[in-house]
Amino acid sequence: MARFADGRGFTLEEISEEVNTFMFPGHETMTASLTWLLYNLAKYPHHQTKIREEVKEILADRDSDGITSKDLSRMEYMTLVIKESMRMMNAAPMISRTVTVPYKVNGVTIPAGSMVFLSIHQLHHNPSVWGHDQMEFKPSRFLPEKLSRMDSFAYVPFSTGARNCIGQQFALNEMKVFLGRILRRFRLSLVDGEPEPGP
């Protein structure tokens, strides 16, 4: 069992608080991410069709209730679409960090103790990073050969560094299972005449 630096173990209340920290913060962001993902698949039905075909091929005659971790790792096109959806409309608007030592950026010194904020939306739509088609929905941006040429901090839907989201792999797997089950049973489409939502 985990212990504090002084050797003392966790109380039941502290264990409960830790469990709550892991279980509940992701509910709102997961809901938002899935909502945007379903919207993007309704808006771009050719991606929906490709994912449906991929899931059908991977599961063959098995029911989508029995998706395994091996199946999830084979859902490559679905992964590209999920990543692009999270790039276009990220559930978390920004990342904040506290500067621990004075840091100079473009001739300006940021004092230790200052809070700095990064807009994930601005980063994920920066044309110098994503190209001048940054507003287009293009899952191919996340093909391995393209990712290998990209800065590792260009795409940070789950934050980055020591304080990144501990549940990111769980979230991605949950989205894949959800989407695999939905697309085996339903076809998504937009409602005619409804205004397009914004970030």
Tell me the longest C-alpha to C-alpha distance in the chain: 63
Give the SS3 label for residue 14: helix
Instruction: End-to-end CA distance of the chain: give it in Å, rounded.
Output: 42
Q: What is the DSSP letter of 163?
A: G
32 assigned binding-site residue:
no
| Two tokens, residue 113 | 């103790």
Give the pairing type, strands 103-105 and 94-98: unpaired
Q: In the beta sheet, which residues pair with residue 59?
A: none
Q: At 44, which amino acid appears? A: Y
Residues of each annotated binding site? 165
Binding-site residues from annotation for heme: 165
